[in-house]
Amino acid sequence: MNCANCEASLRSDFGYCPTCGAKVVRTRLTLKNVWEDVSFQLFNLDNTLLKTFRHMFSQPQNVINSYITGIRKRYMNPISYFAIGVTLSGIMFYILRNVYEVSLTENSFSDANTQVEANMDFVFDYQGILSYFIIPFYALFTWLLFMDKKQLNYTEHLVANAYIFGQISMLQLIISLPLFGLFDIRYDVFNWFFLIASVIYQFFVFKKLFHLGISGTILRGLAYLIMIFILMIGIGILFAIIGFMTGRLNLEDFAPK
């Protein structure tokens, strides 16, 4: 018999292909074996997703360095991990907006009226695409801030930031759903606190990666916050332009009433 994935020749008693590592499937697809496969992948405590999630708190440097140095089976790869985080983030925003009915744009602008807030809410329709768009900027910022260490190149900073923001997205879902479900909290207040906590976590990871002292980590973190602030202004301008081009925003919305 041959492997269905790579067509390598297999012995009849093989459970896995020695060439590509794929599981040998001999039975027809049923709900039972689909559930067994899915439950093992998602809920087994030793699977790579949960292992990566746990170790991104306890030993993030090992997760990132493992992938960079070619150890690819121990943890989930950064692209998949980031993609899962972005997907969960999209689910979180859907629940906040449509189930909890939380206003994600209220009080975002000091002089904004209700119509502007409602129109700007469309930004969250593009949050998934936006996440993929801004991750190269995050990697550029951290690469510039740690250029003196000469330890990671730009691509390796992309890997590190993909792991970090995949972790942050999952953590945001875990915190947000019960928090907004139980308490009446303004999203903009929560978002600013979570942003600060995210930067602290991000530089905790880089402290582990580069073996930095506390003062060096804090200084780089402050410089990074300034870069993020500038990036957020740029993104705000970009979405305002998109809003005007698509008709979601117009100058009359900003007129005092």
Q: Which tokens belong to 53?
A: 């999630």
Q: Which residues of the chain have a pLDDT value below 70?
A: 38-46, 106-123, 248-249, 251-257
Q: Give residue 68's pLDDT.
A: 95
The span from the CA of 232 to the CA of 185, in Å, is 23
The span from the CA of 27 to the CA of 38, in Å, is 16
Collapsed DSSP state (helix, strand, coil) of residue 171: helix
Domain boundaries, the chain: 1-44, 46-254
Beta strands in the chain (DSSP E): none
pTM: 0.78
Q: Give residue 1's pLDDT.
A: 79
Q: Give residue 158's pLDDT.
A: 97
Give the pLDDT confidence of 178-210 residue by residue, as tens digits: 999 999 988 989 999 999 999 999 999 999 999
Q: Give residue 104's pLDDT.
A: 82
Q: Give residue 42's pLDDT.
A: 58
Q: b/e string for 206-217 if b means 16 or more Cβ within 10 A?
A: bbbbbebeeeeb
Long-range contacts of 129-134 (CB under 8 A, 24+ apart): 130/235, 131/82, 131/86, 131/89, 131/165, 131/169, 132/86, 134/231, 134/235
Token pair 């009446």 in the structure block, residue:
184
The span from the CA of 55 to the CA of 66, in Å, is 12
